[in-house]
Structure 1
Amino acid sequence: MTVVEALAHAMPRMDPDMSARVDAELRAHGVRLLTSTRVVGIEPADDAADVAAVVVQDADGERRVPAGLVILAVGVRPNLELANAPTYATTKDPVHYTGMALANAVHGTAPIISPAELERRRAAGEKVQVVDVRSAKDRAKSFVEGSVHVPLAELRERAGELDPAVATVTYCNKGVSGNAAQHVPRNLGFSEVYNLSGGNTNYQAYTNTH
């Protein structure tokens, strides 16, 4: 069994001496304890029906930890990207999306921005990078002026094309995929990430009347 803990001890709320004793006891009973280590991804098996490995990151970088079963225990600030498992269900799965909505309601971790606020900030000279995560077919019909096209399926691999220090707005057609996309740059350390309220549909309706 392997236990991955982002903090320095398995039971970090205890005093340091007691925490160290708990760590030693776990290891003495055969538990592989990885402290100061974060889970950054879960790899499916070749048949996409099981888990093959967990990708972890510590001070030395990323590495794979082979796994047959993964149990996630999240704290007050969960990494919701780990629940994004397209091989099992899509981000639009009712359970996944309800979880994201509830997390945002409780923690306010996924702010939205209205078309009016977006245009106000750009008109004031503020630099905002707007990311269209829809398909090329949808973008060909209409898009937010000045946006870049990075489909949702490519966003993780192409996030390096974006500036993490600049305010970022993700959008889709109505807001669902835009919300899922929003979590990608957020979990990569981008400082300010919004989902465009109502997506491109709402944006086009706003610009047509202003």
Structure 2
Amino acid sequence: MKIWTADEVNSRLNDSPQMIDVRESEETAQGMIPGAKHIPLGEIPQRLGEIDKNKEVIMICRSGARSERAGEFLEKHGYNVVNMDGGMISWNGKTAAP
């Protein structure tokens, strides 16, 4: 699994990357990276069909730990995964309402 810093993810937003935010709803209510899709960690297995296997997927959470676990799961299912190191704690870019 590749690991990118929050700044690296921010620098790629113009490319409209596939991003999955695995935080809980009460966490995402505080703001998400624009363009990210919210799929809570516990729902990832049931919602695999919503994640494009042909595109790299950037995983996001609060600190980077849950997104790493989700990324490991996705990799086992054939996805090309990037984990955002430091999660939203390290995010200095724009946020939007979910």
Q: TM-score range by the shorter chain?
A: 0.7 to 0.9
SS at match of 1:141: coil
Partner of 1:116: 7
Q: 1:179 aligns with which of 64, 68, 79?
A: 68
1:111: how far off?
1.9
1:1-210 aligned at under 5 Å gives the runs 110-123=1-14, 125=15, 127-190=16-79, 192-203=80-91, 206-207=92-93
Structure 2 residue identity aligned to 1:197: D
* Structure 1: 4+ residue segments shifted above 4 A: none
> 2-side partners of 1:150 and 1:173: how far apart?
13
Larger Cα Rg: Structure 1 or Structure 2? 1
Q: Please report the TM-score for the alignment, with normalisation by the length of structure 2.
A: 0.87
RMSD: 1.4
Which stretches in structure 2 are left out of the alignment for 5+ residues?
none
> 2-side partners of 1:184 and 1:148: how far apart?
17
How many correspondences in the alignment? Answer: 94
> 2-side partners of 1:207 and 1:149: how far apart?
18
> 1-side partners of 2:5 and 2:62: how far apart?
14
SS at match of 2:47: helix
Partner of 1:67: none
1:183: how far off?
1.0
> 2-side partners of 1:174 and 1:120: how far apart?
19
Alpha-carbon deviations, 1:8-47, whole Å to 9, x = none?
A: xxxxxxxxxxxxxxxxxxxxxxxxxxxxxxxxxxxxxxxx
SS at match of 1:112: strand
Structure with greater strand share of residues: 1
> 1-side partners of 2:32 and 2:9: how far apart?
14
1:141: how far off?
1.0
Which stretches in structure 1 are left out of the alignment for 5+ residues?
1-109
> 2-side partners of 1:185 and 1:176: how far apart?
14
Partner of 1:28: none
Higher relative contact order (CA 8 A, sep 6+): 2
